[in-house]
Chain A
Amino acid sequence: MMDDHTDEQLDEWIREAAHSYHNPLPAPRNEMWHAIQAARRTPDVRPIRRPIRWLAWSVGVAAVLALGVSIGLIIASDRPVPVLVAAADNPSPTTPQRVSTALAVVTTEHLTQAETFLTLFRNAVRTGEVSSYAGGTARHLLATNRLITDSPASADPVLKELLQDLELVLAQIAQLSEDSWEGETDLITDGIEQRAVLTRLQTVVPAGTLRGALSL
């Protein structure tokens, strides 16, 4: 093991030698300036990352969901219905069994939206196209998630655990700022993977479930 003196010598050598790492050529100032000016004059072709389209409508859907949860909470106490998703061919054992149809639909819709959001978020991280709109969408979904967590829909311990994990992930995304994207987004997607949040969402809400539920 090297002592401190040797470490300092080596650090000094590393600092010096590292200057040859990716040693920059002179910046092509004028070429870049002309390209920047051209891009700014023609905004349609410049390589700006555009906000992801789904984020706009998901904000609206999240707001509607919040209203739906409130309605569901009112109905839930009167009409216990032993079905979360009537149209599911093979209802998951994780689905709560004693919530109203309205609350079940709202819960299912929320989980579907969350699954879509996280899938798109994960893809956006991979392609480097995460935008600040993601935080806004996460905040709306987070609000709905908390309402559902406090509702009879979370009586099922497995669903409750999923909602709690979902809350952690959504809270992390909601707190993202553009300056902290680097590193943070990877941590979030790692968390999604480690907690198998997407897999569990897909288990709870099988494909096509929502359409069937809404056709009741």
Chain B
Amino acid sequence: MARSTDEGTAVDDRQLVAGVLAGDPAAERRLYDANVDRVYRLAYRLTGDPDLAQEFTQESFIRAFDRLETFRGDAKLSTWLNAVATSVIFNGLRKVKRFRQREVDLDLATSRASNRAEAEPDLKERLHGAIDDLPKGYRAVFLMHDVEGYTHEEIGTSLGIRPGTSKAQLSRARAKLRQSLAAFAGGMTE
């Protein structure tokens, strides 16, 4: 995963953006190559679906290229792209959810959650279910920070929240996951 953090990043970003805005196809491709894996990984983590991850990644870059003139260099280009991508992903997921789960049976969902301990003895399976059950914002912060390695500043910029909020949400997400795994924790840590 390409993640530039050196001081030359800002200059590189500006040069790259200037090239794209000037219509340089090579600059477009460089921008894409430098960021596509990161965007795709995030889309995949949040959707769990290769087709959706691909669709949202494409949409993210289409939108980013269209709006590149609004990039002011306040944040790194990769962070700005993440903000575009998370907006695309969350809006896209909401639309997909509308089609796939228009009539969610809450009772069934509750029953599924409460019975998971018996039905899915594997701890990793249970963890995956617990991650699925996290509130949307907590899940995003947890996956971005603990799994994909984003900083709270990057998450804050991407999700439009303050870094402190990101930290608080991560803490609550971890607590919820611990709680969900509590039945297994004793056996695991003994």
Contacts and interface: CB of A to CB of B under 8 A. Distances in A.
B177 to A, nearest CB: 5
B32 to A, nearest CB: 6
A25 to B, nearest CB: 6
A77 to B, nearest CB: 46
Contacts of A25: 44, 50
Given A10-B189, A22-B44, A17 B178 contact: no
Contacts, number: 136
B54 A31 contact: yes
Nearest to A46: B62
B188 A13 contact: yes
A128 interface: yes
A178 B80 CA distance: 12
Contact of A27 (B57, B83, B177): B57
A182 B86 contact: yes
B58 A181 contact: no
A39 B58 CA distance: 9
Chain B, interface residues (CB within 8 Å), range: 35 or more
Contacts of B177: 14
Interface in A64-120: none
Contacts of A21: 45, 48, 127-128, 131, 143, 147
Interface string B9-47: 000000000000000000001001100110011001111
B150 interface: no
A19 to B, nearest CB: 6
Q: Specify the main secondary structure of chain B where it touches its partner.
A: helix
Given A11-B174, A36-B58, A127-B98, A18 B87 contact: no
A161 interface: no
B181 to A, nearest CB: 7
A17 B92 contact: no
Contacts of A215: none
Interface residues of A, number: 45
Contact of B160 (A2, A9, A35, A180): A180
Contact of B178 (A11, A19, A125): A11
Nearest to B129: A21
B54 A17 contact: no
Contacts of B181: 10, 14
A32 interface: yes
B124 interface: yes
Interface string A1-43: 0100011011101110111111011011101110110011000
Given A9-B189, A24-B44, A33-B32, 5 more contacts: A24-B45, A48-B66, A130-B91, A180-B160, A182-B160
23 contacts: A10-B178, A14-B177, A15-B147, A18-B147, A21-B48, A21-B143, A22-B44, A24-B45, A25-B44, A27-B40, A31-B54, A32-B61, A33-B29, A33-B36, A36-B58, A36-B61, A48-B63, A128-B91, A128-B95, A179-B157, A180-B161, A182-B159, A183-B161
